[in-house]
Amino acid sequence: MDKIILKGLRFYGYHGLLPEENKLGQRFHVDVELLVDLKQPGESDRMEDSIHYGHAYELIQTVVEGDPKNLIEAVAEDIAKSLLSNFDLLQAILVKVVKPDPPIRGHYESVAVEIFREKK
């Protein structure tokens, strides 16, 4: 399956279980893979035949910078739902939400969730 990939998107949001996460906020990184047939837009060279990744970015930004969620699992789910419902051509999506600085003691690079959803 062909893909449009948006990688390393950076946002500031207020998601988390702890009160300080909701008050102070933190960084979130998002990667998405939009599974879509790209043969037609590759041949036609028309935006109408593809998915506008600028619009996809704005939808992701609205979710991540929007209403706080307890879990990044819920953030990922909302991103998937938003994109699947807004792009008719989108067949499936892989969403990864990364929390690079969670309030956890220890040494680590980040914590993340990754989900795959298909259009029904």
CA atoms within 13 A on the CB side of 40: 9
Domain span at residue 94 reads 3-118
Catalytic (active site) residue 3: no
Q: Which of 23, 39, 69, 99 is catalytic?
A: 99
The secondary element (H helix, E strand) that includes residue 32 is: strand 26-35
pTM of the model: 0.95
- Over residues 51-107, the pLDDT tens digits come to 999 999 999 999 999 999 999 999 999 999 999 999 999 999 999 999 998 888 898
Q: What is the CATH number of the domain that holds 10?
A: 3.30.1130.10
Cβ atoms of 30 and 95 closer than 8 Å: yes
Candidates 106, 96, 107; CA nearest to 28 is: 96
Q: How many domains does the chain have?
A: 1
**Rounded Cα distance, 48 and 88, in Å:** 11
